[in-house]
Amino acid sequence: MAFTLQIGDKAPDFKVPATDGKVYSLADFANSEALVVFFTCNHCPYVLGSDEVTRTTVERFRRKGVAFIGINPNSETTQPTDDFAHMVERMKTHHFPWVYARDKSQQVARAYGALRTPHFYVFDQDRQLVYTGRGVDNPRNTAEMTINDLDRALEEVLARRPVSTSATNPIGCNVKWEGKDASWMPPEACDLV
């Protein structure tokens, strides 16, 4: 069995607290045309470098019925700035237009097979996975990006077309697993990064 979700897989459910004081599950997004679940954090330079491009994507596609939830799975033991208090401060400062939730147990990240921050998963109206991977081809320096895979995938999903490139390698920092380094991942997960 592969470590990360495969195209066609159903979105695993979750129950995660967010910076807005609410707790979110899949059911909260039931009326959305599509759902983007992405694993992100407070500190990774690939996240920080691409946040504004992600903001533009969210603002564009939210109007078309796409919901977005960013989930921070990183161990605060490994990376103390990824704790919930820092998440709340980050949202107060930047006012990002997505739900920002905490996966302290890392169970959601394991269910999805999150490999990096950022790592995007796009689900269609039936909550089947239609795209997984990077948002853009140069998340650390978006001034030099040439491809926006997330935008392309969402355009195709909303047009009810098959996603032309359904999987790409996520580009970013390894998820900071509690008590482990990247060597714990199964070989097939390492092949993807």
pLDDT tens digits for range 112-141: 999 999 999 999 999 999 999 999 999 999
pLDDT, residue 181, reads 52
Q: What angle do CA 100, 103, 105 make, to 5 degrees?
A: 165
Q: In this structure, are residues 89 and 42 in contact, taking their beta carbons and an 8 Å threshold? A: no
Distance between terminal CA atoms of the chain?
17
Q: Is the pLDDT of residue 184 over 90?
A: no
pLDDT, residue 3, reads 81
Q: Is the pLDDT of residue 189 over 90?
A: no
Which tens digits make up the pLDDT trace of 36-70?
999 999 999 999 999 999 999 999 999 999 999 99
Residue 193 — pLDDT band, cuts 50, 70, 90? very low
pLDDT, residue 190, reads 34
